[in-house]
Amino acid sequence: MTSMQNVSTSWLDPARIHTVLDRNAVEDRGRVAAVLEKARALKGLDLDDVAVLAVLRDPDLVAELFAVAKFVKEEIYGRRMVFFAPMYITNHCANECLYCAFRNSNDGLIRHALNRDEIVRETEILLAQGHKRVLLVAGESYPGGLDYVIDAIAAVYSVGAEGCGIRRVNANLAPLSVDDFRRLKGAGIGTYQLFQETYDREVYAAVHTKGRKANFDWRASAFDRAMEAGIDDVGMGVLFGLGDWRFETLALMQHIAHLEEKFGVGCHTISVPRLEPASGSEMATQPPRPVSDEDFKKLVAILRLAVPYTGLIMSTRESAEMRRETYALGVSQISAGSRTNPGGYATSEEFDASQFQLGDHRSLEEVVGDIAEMGYIPSFCTACYRVGRTGEDFMALAKVGTIKEKCAPNAVGTFLEFLIDTASPETAAAGEQAIARELETMADKERKVANRLLDMVRAGKRDVFC
């Protein structure tokens, strides 16, 4: 691998970010109103727009921000909420990230790399719970190199009869060369996910002290190499709590704008993890720049308006209460029943080998029931990946708000699968009522498609989609 292959990060302009933040440092009602009106057009926001919203403190203005975020999310994606589960296959790591339990010097961590049989067992458990989409996660030191990851992906896909297994494996892995990204794409992944952690170079250097991850530019340029290799769905994120969340959000916008300009495709998802306690890490317990709950909710809503087409992911790092509050602010994908240690679904161990502490410990079924009671439709859909509706093809529908014509029918179809195959009688009854309510909100064309899919599922067919 060429160590300096495609590592330009000239798109990141910290001086411009600071200038934008400085000139928008005072809350301005008139400008806020103009930005929120602009956001309703579903065209996204620029750096100044985001900076205007980032300083909101007036409760009435914040409430308006939240209302517009809810409007934008439902205009594009409707009421569906996509579920996934992370699967950690190894916590071995050569990096020294001061906030992470996986860091190389953490001798108190129990290290393990799952073998094929263990990966199959984890997959079987997730399938029994009702999951259909897995995010494969690994510490950044793979035993056997990329071959180990490729074999792990194959092991996940090998479980279950046709249509009844995991239907899409996404991957959160260390940055790769273009050639290795091509191999990863060939293994059948959906989205490639990578968090920059922080776009502040000084902060980055201070918290990533050893290992390949200490190379800021190699990491920040990873999506360029992934897209050059043909992976056109990428998921990005910031680990909030390391740096100033306002700076990080604008830097994230610059990164997205770069991908749009160079490849014509922005990010497929954005994750918004906050630092949570991690074994042996004082920094994780006491974040350098903690993000308050109120600011956290604001940044979720701002991201929904700024990049309306993207999927916003809320993980189980956050408490059940916080997750519930963010659903209405633009979140469209969530994990449930998660474990962050290798083999965590098959064992009762959690923290001694985990990357961080979880905030929401509920099972998948509990979260599904909660979501349905709140008026959302749980979705286990992977249709876009299966029909090649990725990259530019996906964005063409998402940016104009017509993707929900696919999302809504596919959501109720996959939800019914869950209710029939997995759910308790109580959850099944509540879920059927939720589906009936959702059908009433659909346009005639969507309802006809949805009913066709529902009839096929009730007749015993699985993995049906439009």
**Residue 3's pLDDT is what?**
46
> What are phi and psi for residue 168, nearest 5 degrees?
-155, 130
For the chain, 466 residues long, the average pLDDT of each consecutive 10-residue run is 66 98 97 98 97 97 98 95 96 94 90 96 97 95 91 97 91 96 97 98 98 96 97 97 98 97 95 91 92 98 97 95 96 94 81 71 96 96 89 84 90 97 95 96 95 97 94
Answer whether residue 14 is part of any domain: no
Burial zone of 460 (CB within 10 Å; 0-12 exposed, 13-18 middle, 19+ buried): exposed
Residues 269 and 161 in one domain: yes
Distance, CA of 208 to CA of 199 (rounded, Å): 12
Q: Please choose, from the candidates 354, 221, 241, the residue with its C-alpha nearest in 3D space to the C-alpha of residue 290.
A: 241
State the residue range of the domain holding 145. Answer: 74-362
Domain shared by 198 and 308, yes or no? yes
Q: Based on the fold, state whether residues 353 and 441 are members of the same structural domain.
A: no
Residue 390, in any domain of the structure = no
Q: What are the tokens at 63? A: 């409430």
Residue where a domain terminates, one of 339, 362, 385: 362
Domain with residue 128: its CATH number is 3.20.20.70
256 and 204 assigned to the same domain:
yes
Q: Are residues 200 and 312 in the same domain?
A: yes
| Pair 205, 274 in one domain | yes
- 98, 229: one domain: yes
> Which residues lie across from 90 on neighbouring strands?
113, 138
The DSSP annotation for 157-198 comes to: HTSSSTTSS--EEEEE-----HHHHHHHHHTTEEEEE---B-
Can you read off the two tokens belonging to residue 447?
């309802």
pLDDT at 333: 97
- Beta partners for residue 189, in sequence order: 169
Domain count, the chain: 2
Helix, strand, or coil (residue 82)? strand
- Report which DSSP code applies to 242: S
Q: Which of 202, 271, 281, 284 is nearest to 234 (CA)?
A: 271
Which of 362, 379, 410 corresponds to the end of one domain? 362
Q: Is residue 311 domain-shared with residue 425, that is, in the same domain?
A: no
Would 145 be classed as within a structural domain?
yes
CA distance 66 to 304: 10
DSSP H/E element including 208: strand 208-210
Answer with the one of 336, 362, 388 that is the final residue of a domain: 362
Which tokens hold the place of 9?
Answer: 């990060």
Residue 357 lies in a domain: yes
Position 1 in a domain: no
Residues 351 and 411 in one domain: no
Comparing CA positions, the residue from 73, 55, 61 lying closest to residue 250 is 55
- Residue 435 domain-assigned? yes
Please check whether residue 218 lies inside any domain of the structure: yes
Q: What is the pLDDT of residue 143?
A: 83
Per-residue pLDDT, 5? 65
Task: Flag whether 393 is in a domain.
Answer: no
